[in-house]
Amino acid sequence: MNETEQNVPGLIDVVFSWSLADILNKELFRDKVKQIPDTFLSTDHYFESFIGPLIEETQVDLLSGMTTASQSPALEVLDVKISGRSKPPKGLYYNILLKRAIEGERIREIYEPEVGDLIALSNVSPKSIDDLNRPRRSFLIAFVQGKDEGSNTITIPSSKPILFKKTDRETVLSSKPIPFEKQHKGKGEQGDNLFIVYLSNLTTNIRIWKALNSDVESANLKIIRTAES
């Protein structure tokens, strides 16, 4: 499985802390993010000056993805299993088996999830943003952290559990509970609908985040300190 680092990036923790109202709030960071100065007082001041704008940019990108979710590619989830890497209560990982579109099916777009994708998990394939914000609609944000090449499986980490009514896959990390029961056609049991919808890709932002929060002895910091002296 091709995966990012096992630990969930800190930027993902920030994203998971946002409610749907936060994500849709165009003024969320108004008067909270300072303009990047022309000069810096120290190395720490330099890095800290970029963290706020990066978080703001991430929220703006997610807002854009949410408002256009009805046009974004979506895939149906066939099965969800708890990953062996899960370490509750915070290290929650799931393997997600996706249904691939077959020839002749009408689909918005062929979607191949990639590591770094920020996705929505919902029990409805949204036709508008309102579909994700209604009573009895289950919805959460997740992050594609691993992918089985050549299969229909991804791995996602999640900050809160997917709730199983009964106790090829992507690894996802989710931001709040969502119920799921696999459909058993042979037994005539009706399962839960579950879909993933692409919102944005955080690969670049996570790389920048890690650089801004890098170890003080990293090569980049040494270069900066040399330039300061």
DSSP for 149-188 reads: TTSSEEEEEESSPEEES---EEEEEESS-EEE---BGGGT
Is residue 65's pLDDT more than 50? Answer: yes
Q: According to the model, what pLDDT value does residue 182 have? A: 64
How many whole angstroms separate alpha carbon 56 and alpha carbon 50?
A: 10
Residue pair 35/29 in contact (Cβ under 8 Å)? The answer is no
Q: Which residue has the higher pLDDT, 74 or 62?
A: 62
Inter-CA distances, 12 with 117, 135, 154, 170, 195, Å: 11, 26, 17, 17, 21
How many whole angstroms separate alpha carbon 229 and alpha carbon 226?
A: 5
Q: Which residue has the higher pLDDT, 109 or 162?
A: 162
How many whole angstroms separate alpha carbon 144 and alpha carbon 195?
A: 14
Q: According to the model, what pLDDT value does residue 185 have? A: 54
Pairing type for strands 74-82 and 139-147 reads: unpaired
Q: According to the model, what pLDDT value does residue 226 have? A: 41
Q: According to the model, what pLDDT value does residue 216 have? A: 42
Is residue 221's pLDDT more than 50? Answer: no
82's tokens:
């708890």
Confidence of residue 121 (pLDDT cuts 50, 70, 90): confident
The model's pTM is: 0.75
**What is the average pLDDT value for the chain, to the nearest integer?**
73
What number of CA atoms fall less than 13 Å from residue 79's CA on the CB side?
A: 12
Confidence of residue 94 (pLDDT cuts 50, 70, 90): confident
Q: Which residue has the higher pLDDT, 48 or 5?
A: 48
Residue ranges making up the domain that contains 88: 2-228
Greatest Cα pair distance, the chain, in angstroms, is 73
Per residue in 38-48, pLDDT (tens digit) is 777 777 777 77
Q: According to the model, what pLDDT value does residue 63 have? A: 93
Is residue 102's pLDDT more than 90? Answer: no
Residue pair 93/85 in contact (Cβ under 8 Å)? The answer is yes
The residue whose two tokens read 């970029």 is 50
Q: According to the model, what pLDDT value does residue 202 have? A: 94
Q: What percent of the chain has pLDDT above 90? A: 15
Per residue in 138-177, pLDDT (tens digit) is 678 889 988 877 778 888 876 556 665 443 455 565 555 5
Q: According to the model, what pLDDT value does residue 156 have? A: 83
Q: How many domains in the chain?
A: 1
